[in-house]
Chain A
Amino acid sequence: MIAIKDLYSGYGDDDILKGVSLNILNNKLTVIAGPNGCGKSTLLKTISGIIKKTSGSIFIDDIDLSNISPLDRAKRIAYLSQNRSVPDIAVKNLVLHGRFPYLSYPRRYRAEDREAVDMALERMGIEGLRDKMVSELSGGERQKVYIAMALAQGSDYLLLDEPTTFLDISHQFQLLDLAKELCSENKSVVMVLHNLESALSIADSFILMDKGRLLFEGSVDDVYSSKLIDKVFNVEIKKESDHWWCKKKL
């Protein structure tokens, strides 16, 4: 479990997260939702060590994240950012770099690392892209390659910031199914999602944020009955025979 207590974090002198406390449960799919600029990405970046926290604590499986090395953190937490560059390298090499935290100097990838890459590529259904350059791929293909890198990292916690961006609708569903599968394989997946219908239909645990603060943490049914999503996004959420509907409030 990742336990976050009274977390303040942001860029420069301005804290975007203002006293966030929440728990990310093991083997669950946690979805974080909230309006733009509410601190969703800042939260994921702070957990993965990209942004230094101002104050508060983050414990992972009862270990204080401040007390472990960046490589140890990377073995436990994989993070897929929202905005990525288009590096001039081959797909297989990019995915192979997911194994970097497991190597010590002088870092040379081993047979088991290459096996992990093969499995990740197969899992994402992109074995055919392995010898292509990342710069030659479409946005959706590139997204899958980066997710494969996160899978190859073999971490127990996967933090995915808007992973469905660039994916067409059928690939979005594939990705959400994959996230569910990973949770059944002792992984914990945290996703920032903008599509509320997808978020509500898939989440085991729902986190709602607004203006750098936590508004809600709990089950999908509870957030629905609290009507907090309706209030924050100014929408109307409905559930009809296991299907979630979201429409503009009239």
Chain B
Amino acid sequence: MKKHIVLLSLLLLILTILLSLMIGSVVISPIKLFESIFSSDSFERYIFFYSRLPRTIACVFAGGALAVAGAILQSVLANNLAAPGIIGVNSGAGLAVTLSCAIGVSSGLMMSLSAFIGAIITSLFIMVISARLRASRTTVLLCGVSMNYILGALSDTLVNLVPSASMNGSDFFVGGFSSVSAIRLYPATIIIFIAIALACTLTNELEILSLGDDEAISLGVNVKRLRALFIILSSLLAGSAVSFAGLLGFVGLLVPNATRRILKRDRRYYILLSAILGGIIVTLCDIIARSLFRPYELAVGIIMSLLGGPVFLYLVLKRRRA
């Protein structure tokens, strides 16, 4: 049954990818799309290879990465409201990327690396607060929100002082794919692919970690090592996504919660389905963002926030009632 859900979602992902390749300021029919791949020189070919394909890959990978980062953080912190965009991990990665641009380092690999460093420093800060101070879930979230403000303010200051630090302009701070570049994209997609594949093999470990430290240790789990591994994985995922997609919010919150609802009691495919659904949602939002006011585009982050904001509110109110 669960396998059917995964297969169905894969089919949906393929359909969404096809739609994303077809729809934009110029609509390309499926036949034209197919012909353009093999034609040597055509307008459609140019659009396909230099605009639609990188953009679609960026959507799928950014969505998958942020959704899995969210799924990991929610399990490690045992908090359904935790997500890289909410607890400041994305902002940490964003500040590091902005800082790299400000000092003139802008190669794809260096972007991913600096975003990872920014993400992991913020993650560790939140983890230390959570573990050492035995902070409540609400305190951890509020600390993350404060981190978002502080890191965001630092990024803004940098962009004001060094305007070239913001390579994607305002799109970076909202999250968007209008100026996604291959040089930033492809190194990050390799990291994301490996990190998601590894995370898929650690579903049981992730669930055991959510039982609490005492239970996990008594089952023979090396909790410190495993938690460190998950923090590295979620930071790699969030950092890599931020390095080319900007501060795309709410995917990491919305998708893992939706995935748990879909899977209900059997969570074997939790990570895999989160990745697929993350890819679908971000790609669909991007299609909406670029076709709603065609030929003008909205940043996909705006659509994500319009969707994710109410969901976040719903989850907060639901928890308060519980």
Contact = CB atoms under 8 A, between A and B. Distances in A.
A88 B80 CA distance: 10
B217 A131 contact: no
A70 B217 contact: yes
Contact of B201 (A45, A101, A105, A153): A105
Q: Is the interface of B mostly helix, strand, loop or mixed?
A: loop
B157 to A, nearest CB: 40
A131 B78 CA distance: 21
B211 A87 contact: yes
Given A85-B211, A97-B211, A69 B217 contact: no
A172 interface: no
B211 A78 contact: no
B212 A71 contact: no
A69 B220 contact: yes
B214 interface: yes
A100 B265 contact: no
Interface residues of A, number: 37
A229 B221 CA distance: 38
Nearest to A130: B265
A79 B220 CA distance: 11
B265 A70 contact: no
Interface string A70-94: 1111110111010111011110111
B156 interface: no
A100 B218 contact: no
A84 to B, nearest CB: 6
B260 A101 contact: no
Contact of B265 (A77, A78, A90): A90
B78 A85 contact: yes
A49 B218 contact: yes
A246 interface: no
Contacts of A109: 204
A107 B205 contact: yes
Nearest to B80: A88
B219 to A, nearest CB: 5
B132 to A, nearest CB: 12
Given A89-B267, A90-B266, A101 B220 contact: yes
Contacts, number: 83
A45 B214 CA distance: 8
A49 B217 contact: yes
B208 interface: yes
Interface residues of B, number: 24
A119 interface: no
Interface string B75-96: 0001010000000000000000
A219 B204 CA distance: 42
A74 B204 CA distance: 16
A87 B201 CA distance: 20
B297 interface: no
A138 B185 CA distance: 49
A232 interface: no
Interface string B182-208: 000000000000000000011011011
Contact of B214 (A81, A98, A105): A81
B21 to A, nearest CB: 34
Contacts of A73: 220
Interface of A: 45, 48-50, 69-75, 77-79, 81, 83-85, 87-90, 92-94, 97-98, 100-101, 103, 105-107, 109, 131, 133, 153
30 contacts: A49-B217, A49-B218, A50-B213, A50-B214, A50-B217, A70-B217, A70-B220, A73-B220, A79-B214, A79-B218, A81-B214, A81-B215, A84-B214, A84-B215, A85-B210, A85-B212, A87-B211, A88-B80, A88-B260, A89-B267, A90-B265, A93-B266, A98-B219, A100-B220, A103-B204, A105-B201, A106-B202, A107-B205, A109-B204, A133-B265
Given A50-B213, A133-B265, 7 more contacts: A70-B221, A72-B220, A87-B78, A88-B260, A90-B267, A94-B211, A131-B265
